[in-house]
Every structure is written in C-alpha cells, then in structure tokens.
Amino acid sequence: MPLVTVKQVSKQYHQDSIIVDALDGVDLTVESAEFMALVGPSGSGKTTLLNIIGGLDAPTRGQIWIREQEIGRLPKTELSRLRLREIGFIFQEYNLIPVLSAVENVEYVMLLQGVPDKERRERAESMLGEVGLKDFVHRRPTQLSGGQQQRVAVARAIVSQPAIVLADEPTANLDSHTGAALLDLMRDLNERHKTTFIFSTHDSMVMERARRIVTLRDGKIVDERRQMGAKK
C-alpha cells in the first residue's frame, strides 16, 4: 500500500465572483522513503497540493489517503492526531517559537505526543547534534542565523519519527551554500531514517537532489520523472 494516495483531487477558491481552480483532478501516489519534489510556476498548485496532503487544507473534491486512512473523513481531533503522529512540517519562514530555545523547539512536538521528559530531551539533543547544532541547543531563534534556524526546523520535523516530512520552499530564504548544505542534510536523513520527504519548490538545487520530480501547471500534473542519478 502506498504511503500517500491522492485520488481525483480538485481545489477551488473563490476570489470575488470568480472561481479559481487551484487543483484540477490530481492523481498521485507516494511510496515510503521517497525524496520527491513538486515543481511548477507560481500558481500551479504545488503548495496547495502539499497542504492538502498534510491535512492543512481540504479538497473541494477527491480523496487523500495516508496509508489506510482517508483523511477527509476524519473528525478534526483525529486529523490533528494523525498530523501529530505521522507528518512533520518544514516551512519557508521556519515557524520557530521565539521564546523557546533550540532544544525546546525541537522537543515541542514530542511534548504534545506525551513523550517523557528525559527521553524527550535526549532525543532532541541527539537530533540537534545530527543537524550540526550540538553547541547551539540553548540558543533562542534570534540568536541563530537563518540557516541554523532552518536546521532547528528540520530537527523538529524529523525528531518525532514521522512517516512524511512536507517541506514548502525550505531553501527560499537561504543563500546557495547554506541551502545546499541543508538539502544534503535532509537527503542524508532520508537515507538513514527512511523518512519520506515531499518538497514544494522552485529551487534547482532541490530538483537536482530529488529522486522523483512531479511537475504541475494550472492545477494539473503535466509531467513526472525519476532521477536514478540524483545529485548527492
């Protein structure tokens, strides 16, 4: 069974008296441990599709399955629990909690999951070490560079061992050197932890490293290809 199944998903928005089709009959399956990118011009629907897979938005029509669960049929509390358990998010703007230290930000999802204090701290510190921030665990976001903040966000997304990490333009606010290092880090985490990564991106560096590229235009999937020799 695929990890994610998207079946005939459409999404419409109303702008004044105009109906805008953000997605139009999209079908997609995603297997475990994929490292894939949704690409396309602005307005193509890639971020909308990412948000619908993550349960942050609901389709106008169609179905989304995470393993055997159709998430559109879940009550809000069950959907929240599924997101907490199965999905990690990495956003363009980092979305760290400014009053918490790096380690406390990474701990936050596990706190919501009810992980005991000692285990939570050990796992958070270990993951920050994996992303190269061993010496920065007690710094708050304002004391970190943009690249370091995004590394905290990556650690937070993966520390609770989700099945899927959804990353919306994660390199958009980073210089090319920092962005490349971060992508190589995520590729390494994907290979070692077998976590599925799905990116929404314009960034050629993401496309070079993705093993699968799905291209959207005008709310439809218009091309799909696999890259066996994706850059490492």
Query: Model confidence at 20, in pLDDT bands (50, 70, 90)?
Result: confident
Residue count of the chain: 232
Q: Token pair of 14, please?
A: 């109303």
Element (H, E) at 225: strand 220-226
pLDDT of residue 230: 66
Domain ranges of the chain: 31-56+75-226
pLDDT at 148 over 70: yes
* Over residues 139-145, mean pLDDT: 95
In the predicted structure, residue 1 carries a pLDDT above the cut 90: no
Average pLDDT, the chain: 92
pLDDT at 232 over 70: no
Q: What is the mean pLDDT of residues 33-56?
A: 94
Q: Give, in order, the Cα–Cα distances in Å from 98 to each of 90, 117, 139, 155, 156.
A: 16, 21, 10, 16, 14
Edge-to-edge strand order for the sheet containing 220-226? 87-90, 164-168, 196-201, 35-39, 212-217, 220-226
Q: Please state the rounded mean pLDDT for residues 51-79.
A: 93
Structure tokens at 11: 């999404």
Work out the average pLDDT over 7-21. Answer: 90
Q: What is the mean pLDDT of residues 83-95?
A: 89
What is the identity of the amino acid at 44? S
Q: Is the pLDDT of residue 17 over 70?
A: yes
**Average pLDDT for 33-37:** 96
Alpha carbons 3 and 223: distance in angstroms, whole number: 21
Region 207-214 average pLDDT: 95
184/161 Cα distance (integer angstroms): 19
Calculated CA dihedral for residues 59, 10, 64, 171, nearest 10 degrees: -90
CA–CA distance, 38 with 119 (Å, rounded to integer): 35
Question: Two tokens at 114?
Answer: 């009810």
Sort 183 into a burial class: Cβ within 10 Å, 0-12 / 13-18 / 19+.
buried
Question: Which pLDDT belongs to residue 10?
Answer: 96
pLDDT above 80 (res 229): no
pLDDT recorded at residue 208: 93
Is 172 in a helix, a strand, or coil? Answer: coil
Dihedral over alpha carbons 61, 198, 191, 108 (to 10 degrees)? -100
Mean pLDDT of 170-182: 85
Instruction: For domain 31-56+75-226, give the CATH number.
Output: 3.40.50.300
Of 171, 148, 38, 14, residue with least CA distance to 92: 171
In the chain, what percentage of residues exceed pLDDT 90?
Answer: 72
What is the pTM (predicted TM-score) of this model? 0.91
Of 165-179, 190-204, 209-223, the range with the lowest mean pLDDT is 165-179
pLDDT (0 to 100) of residue 105: 96
Whether residue 162 has pLDDT greater than 80: yes
Rounded Cα gap, residues 223 and 228, in angstroms: 17
User: What is the mean predicted confidence (pLDDT) over 119-126?
Assistant: 95
CA 36, CA 144: separation in Å to the nearest integer? 28
